Amino acid sequence: MCRLFGLHAGPRTVRATFWLLDAPDSLTEQSRREPDGAGIGTFDADGRARLSKRPLAAWEDHAFAREARELRSTTFLAHVRYASTGARTVANTHPFVQDGRLFAHNGAFTGLDRLDRHLARLGVADLVRGQTDSERLFALITAHARTSGGDIGQSILRAVEWISAELPVYSLNLILTTATDLWALRYPASHELYVLERNPAAEPAPAAPLDARSRRIHSRSTDLSVSPHVVLATEPMDHNPRWRAMGPGELLHVGPSLAVTSTFPLPVDPAHLLTLADLEPAAAASQKP
């Protein structure tokens, strides 16, 4: 299953170190299904999106994901890909960037030919450079953002409403970031997505740095030992009891001052809900925990 990680550090840039594969090289790990790509997106001092990503087609490529990356940004978006559609290529590796925004997705849906025709009618087919369902979902969000004055929350909702009504869906979990804001969606209940609102000032002194670690993504920031931040992840990444699972259908927004708002604007399930048994074998394998 793909791993999502989003971090909002508030109005000031912070330094964070990322490792996109945190598991050791061993026969035990090599016996498991290996990732198909990894990447991280940040924003520079002028608010421009920056990407560092690579398909992981061989063990020598995994050095890219295991190297420590020292990055500065206000928001961060990381993703480790297990392919449901599309080959191991840079074009198919998350995160994606469109109109200065960053996006990553964990899930699967079908009916891409129909979605391609819809994107062509909306005039955004040229945004799709690869083969993934994820990039197409992002293009649909971008199409609505271009006609809604940049209202990203509303654009996510309109895009997901269309897909959930018109196409067979297994999961549409996503994170979208700008230099100032972060949005996350868990939909439907197929995959979990967790959020942690952390305020080091409320912790016993001395507060610890951020040290969020899973088997696939590890992020550490000494800067965040003193300032509030919000973390989104596919799974809880430490023993902090304040991690909570987002509810199915929850659309979450983190604003520039770290104000968090949540809504539940979608039906309980898509009109054509898929199970693992409905997916092609490769896609089904990519969705298993």
pLDDT tens digits along 180-211: 999 999 999 999 999 999 998 887 777 789 99
Tens of pLDDT along 250-263?
999 999 999 999 99
Give the bridge partners for 7, in sequence order. 76, 231
pLDDT in tens, 82-91: 888 888 899 9
- pTM score, two decimals? 0.95
Neighbours of 45 (CB within 10 A): 10
> Given the DSSP bridges, would you call strands 251-254 and 218-221 parallel, antiparallel or unpaired?
unpaired
Query: Where does the pLDDT of residue 27 fall: very low under 50, low under 70, confident under 90, or very high at 90 and above?
Result: very low
Q: Report the distance separating Cα 66 and Cα 86, nearest Å.
A: 23
List the domain boundaries for the chain.
Answer: 3-287
Terminal alpha carbon distance of the chain: 5
pLDDT band per the 50, 70, 90 thresholds, residue 32: low
Average pLDDT over residues 129-146: 97
pLDDT, position 25: 47
Name the residue type at position 23.
Answer: A
Burial class (CB in 10 A: 0-12, 13-18, 19+), 91: middle
Rounded-to-integer distance, Cα 233 and Cα 273, Å = 23
Length of the chain: 289
Q: Which fold has domain 3-287?
A: Glutamine Phosphoribosylpyrophosphate, subunit 1, domain 1 (3.60.20)
pLDDT of residue 1: 82
User: What's the average model confidence in pLDDT over 39-68?
Assistant: 90
